[in-house]
Chain A
Amino acid sequence: MKKSLSTYLRQLEAESIHIMREAAAEFDKPVLLYSIGKDSSVLLHLALKAFYPSRPPFPLLHIDTKWKFREMIEFRDREAERLKLDLRVHTNPQGIRDQISPITHGSALHTDIMKTQALKQALGEGGYDAAFGGARRDEEKSRAKERIYSFRNSSHNWDPKRQRPELWRLVNSHMAPGESMRVFPLSNWTELDVWTYIYLEDIPVVPLYFAKERPIVERDGALIMVDDDRLPLNEGETPEMRMVRFRTLGCYPLTGAVESTATTVPEIIEEIVQSRSSERQGRVIDHDQAGSMEKKKQEGYF
């Protein structure tokens, strides 16, 4: 059988392209937040299509917490080279100075300093007035409430009670200096749509998404991969090789793997269709308390 996009995916693709073009035309200095994950891969793929034969009229920005899986960084650099991307990488210098780590400082502080604060710094220093992100409404229930143009005040905070009405395809890009917009072209995509699109369009993704024997320790039910020797092993803990893959990618001690035998995109899709757990289940940071994603977003997290 031959691969071609379904009517529905073509509709989603066109909608996302429309959003990207609109933002590129309306904002002075947009940037694409590139997190290396599958959603970013799709977002980048769409950006390359949206402006063809021009190059995307904005750079890519990666917030490097220094705790990303090694394979993610390798993939990032390979893709940047292959696609000749204008990729900028930012790490919070304060975090490096204070040696902030999710292990010694806990996930909440690490996320705040190395992700939220770092993102604010990078957006401020770059003078970006709009940032594309790969967030989807089906990911999490506070995301389900977010607009396509998500307005942030000059402190980058989100006010969920005062979101701008967004009717039809019309979006409001008016802002005062210092304020900014987060733009989510993939709002209406689901996890299944993303993987089906990746399959049909042959979009490269980080190999960590595919099942493989990896060194794993089990902590509070989460399967944590021992990616390098920065992960201190508790007494009695020995990494064992288990067949796992990652459904979502974040900082390595904060992202749990799932047991899986899916080594190809079609197998991953099959696994998702049959799964009884949501995508973000492996994210330790989402489970601090109910509403924790919303709280992080209000503080400026993507």
Chain B
Amino acid sequence: MTQLKVVGDETETDAEARLLSRLAAEEGRGLLRFLTCGSVDDGKSTLIGRLLVDSQQVYDDQLQGARRDARGDSEEIDFSLLVDGLQAEREQGITIDVAYRYFSTPRRKFIVADTPGHVQYTRNMATGASTCDFAVLLVDARNGVLSQTRRHACIVSLLGIKKIAVAVNKMDLIGYDEKRFDEIADDFNAFAAPLGFEDVAFIPLSALKGDNVIAPSAHMQWYHGPTLMGHLETVQVGRAAKAQPFRFTVQWINRPHLDFRGYSGTVSSGAIAVGEEVVIHPSGKRVSIARIVTGDGDLERAEAGEAVTLVFTEEVDVSRGDIIAKPEEDPSNADQVAAKLIWFDEEPMLPGRSYALKCGAQETTATVSSLKHKLNVDNLDHVAGKTLELNEVGACNLSTGRPLTFDPYSSSPETGSFLLIDRLSNLTVAAGMIEFGLRRATNVKWQELSIDKGARSVLKGQKPCVLWFTGLSGSGKSTIANMMEKRLHAMGRHTYVLDGDNVRHGLNKDLGFSDADRVENIRRVAEAARLFVEAGLIVMVAFISPFRSERRMARELFDDGEFLEIFVDTPLELCEQRDPKGLYKKARAGLITNFTGIDSDYEKPEAPDFDLPTRNSTPEELSEKLLTELRRRGII
């Protein structure tokens, strides 16, 4: 025998023949991706450990490890130690993050996501659930259906999983009581009816003792259904992605030399063949497929799940994120969408704040324009709210920086799902599922005006811009802005001042001082300032504007060089000492809440265009400095 065998060698060895016949026998064996979820201590990790050990998927040294980790030489195996892979998990005896396990039986291959039960790790549970087709929801027979059981059932249904098994665990601890089991099933059904599961199987079991996990239990003659493994091996799932309309997301432009231009990506649903006509979205251009290229040679046809490179019959402009579809099977396109959000971050969702949005390979910015309602996961009630806190679920309208090409999540999870990313912390703050596009996007078109900003700017002999003064209450923003306007006015410049207090008397009088309202406050002012800049004015905005992300959002509404962030840098002690409106005194006395600097944060600018330390200067000196800066920048 040689070490490197020749392909297709005539003298096939015995091992090779056995391997090929095993592979042939396994070919029809499908794959089931499922998760285990449920409340903490309901025994999820133990159940997976039991499934792995009983289906002989655990190696001896790993089994030995499960004993050794337990800090004892006990013969009893702690099944959960096989899956709780993080030190912190073993110390606290809980699951923090989702673990993936791979095992197979003669009938099926399985990828199981073991997800955490603690409410603060719900995001990890959702991560595990998003790629699964089936869920095993555990319930401790002693405790019945708990709030966390309901939350997980909700998220499972939200993510589009249609079939689940409710595994009523620890039956051994309640004497294998049939009546209790029936009660739990009734309880769950009463709650879950609106979630729209197609199939819920209730299975009484004991993960620790092994009852009804793989082998039928001798203790529950009253139960006639399948064991959990029996159910996992036979349940029919699948979203039949191949039967859906053709969708292909362009991930990467493949251009090795001038004679080849291809578009690499994955077919997310449907199928395509050489010669067929396709439409590129969002441009709407029509082309035909010339070649379907792979590293193994060209294909005639590609279907859902395949990673290929498409070559078109003619050269057209195609970018990363574009979606290729067939004619008459258009995806939606809108810059306003209705979506469900699951919030993952400790920082709450604030309507109006600008987040990065990633949908397939498309990336743009998005703001939540309204939170329609939150979902109470205990009873599925709709609850009014202004923000989403960690682990809350809400129905929202979002508006995006660029139009999105998408499908509703219910018909195509691949092209209907997105992440929201905080643009400062870079954390993934939410997962979203698009319900539908809001027609408003296509109805409200930007009216092109014949006289533009440039024309007005020339007539006025000035470069329109916004001077954005940020700083604590009492720092001197309004005083300096006012002084600046007087000076500019005297010089014959066209100006306007947007003052925080004044705007709150009109445009923003419906807003309070919560974080959510502060964000909306800034959004409206920034938009108003933008209109004035369009009109050719030099606009001074004097707003506390305490959050970096909103100042950044404001900046992005303007062209380069149009937005000058001016940090009116007055220390809190000094502002409090001045206290021109007596507000600090009231805030300290607890008469005003959410007061910046006292019980609400002020995030200092990291790189303002102009830093104005006020401690040792008069407003006149400060405005003189600013004027010099404006001249230097060619604004006046």
Contacts and interface: CB of A to CB of B under 8 A. Distances in A.
Interface in B239-291: 251-252, 254-256, 260, 262, 264-266
Most buried by B among A55, A144, A281: A144
The binding surface of chain B is classed by DSSP as: mixed
Interface string A1-16: 1110011101101110
Interface string A133-155: 00001101111110000000000
A163 B17 contact: no
A301 interface: no
A264 B1 contact: yes
B15 A48 contact: no
Contact of A165 (B83, B296, B431): B431
Given A25-B361, A53-B293, A168-B417, A3 B31 contact: no
Contact of B124 (A3, A165, A196): A165
A165 B85 contact: no
A49 B88 CA distance: 39
B255 A54 contact: yes
B295 A144 contact: no
Contact of B19 (A55, A266, A276, A277): A266
B7 A6 contact: no
Contacts of A18: 251, 266, 307
A235 B27 CA distance: 54
The binding surface of chain A is classed by DSSP as: loop
Nearest to A54: B256
Interface residues of B, number: 87
A160 B85 CA distance: 10
Interface stretch (A88-96, A107-115, A170-178): A170-178
B61 interface: yes
A52 B294 contact: yes
Contacts of A53: 254, 256, 260, 262, 293
Contacts of B371: none
B21 A24 contact: no
A166 B127 contact: yes
A164 B86 CA distance: 16
Nearest to A166: B127
A256 to B, nearest CB: 12
Contacts of B295: 48-50, 52
A2 B8 contact: yes
B85 A161 contact: no
Interface in A260-302: 263-267, 269-270, 275-278, 281, 290-291, 294-295
A199 interface: yes
A172 B31 contact: no
Nearest to A136: B102
B287 to A, nearest CB: 20
Interface in A97-137: 137
A14 B1 CA distance: 33
Contacts of A1: 12, 17, 20-21, 24
A190 interface: yes
B540 interface: no
A142 B65 CA distance: 13
Given A164-B428, A167-B417, A175-B426, A145 B19 contact: no
A52 B309 contact: yes
Interface in B83-99: 83-88, 90, 96-99
B328 interface: no
A157 interface: no
B479 to A, nearest CB: 36
A175 B427 CA distance: 9
Given A50-B295, A142-B85, A166-B127, A172 B428 contact: yes
B535 to A, nearest CB: 36
Contact of B296 (A11, A49, A269, A295): A49
Interface stretch (A62-70, A78-86, A202-210): A202-210
A18 B268 CA distance: 11
Contacts of B527: none
Interface in B59-87: 59-62, 65, 68-69, 82-87
Contacts of B127: 165-167
Contact of A172 (B5, B126, B358, B359): B358
B188 interface: no
B356 interface: yes
Interface in B281-338: 293-296, 305-307, 309, 320
Interface residues of A, number: 74
A265 B27 CA distance: 20
B469 interface: no
Interface string A34-56: 00000000000000111111110
A264 B320 contact: no
Contacts of A169: 414
A22 B296 contact: no
Contact of B3 (A6, A48, A263): A263
A60 to B, nearest CB: 17
A295 B86 CA distance: 9
B361 to A, nearest CB: 7
A50 B264 contact: yes
Contact of A291 (B2, B87, B111, B360): B87
Most buried by B among A48, A49, A163, A168: A168
B124 A199 contact: no
Contacts of B15: 264, 266-267, 269-270
A33 interface: no
Given A172-B358, A196-B23, A210-B3, A276 B305 contact: no
A21 B344 contact: no
A112 to B, nearest CB: 18
Contacts of B254: 51, 53-54
A17 interface: yes
A172 B419 contact: yes
Contact of A3 (B7, B84, B85, B101): B7
B123 interface: yes
A188 interface: yes
Most buried by A among B85, B88, B96, B111: B85
B305 A264 contact: no
Contact of A144 (B1, B19, B99): B99
Contacts of B306: 10, 14
B59 A275 contact: yes
A291 B69 CA distance: 9
A264 B23 contact: no
Nearest to B31: A8
Interface of B: 1-5, 7-8, 12-13, 15-21, 23-24, 26-27, 31, 59-62, 65, 68-69, 82-88, 90, 96-102, 109, 111, 123-124, 126-127, 130-131, 251-252, 254-256, 260, 262, 264-266, 293-296, 305-307, 309, 320, 344, 356, 358-361, 413-414, 417-419, 421, 423, 426-428, 431
The list of the 10 closest CB pairs from A to B, nearest first, reads A49-B295, A141-B85, A167-B130, A266-B15, A174-B426, A52-B295, A54-B256, A17-B307, A278-B59, A291-B87
20 contacts: A17-B266, A21-B265, A49-B294, A52-B293, A52-B294, A53-B293, A137-B99, A141-B83, A144-B101, A145-B85, A170-B359, A170-B360, A172-B419, A172-B428, A188-B100, A202-B7, A265-B5, A275-B59, A276-B59, A291-B86
Given A14-B266, A165-B419, A170-B360, 19 more contacts: A8-B31, A14-B307, A17-B266, A17-B307, A25-B320, A52-B293, A52-B294, A52-B295, A144-B85, A160-B86, A161-B96, A164-B427, A166-B428, A172-B419, A172-B426, A172-B427, A188-B102, A207-B3, A266-B16
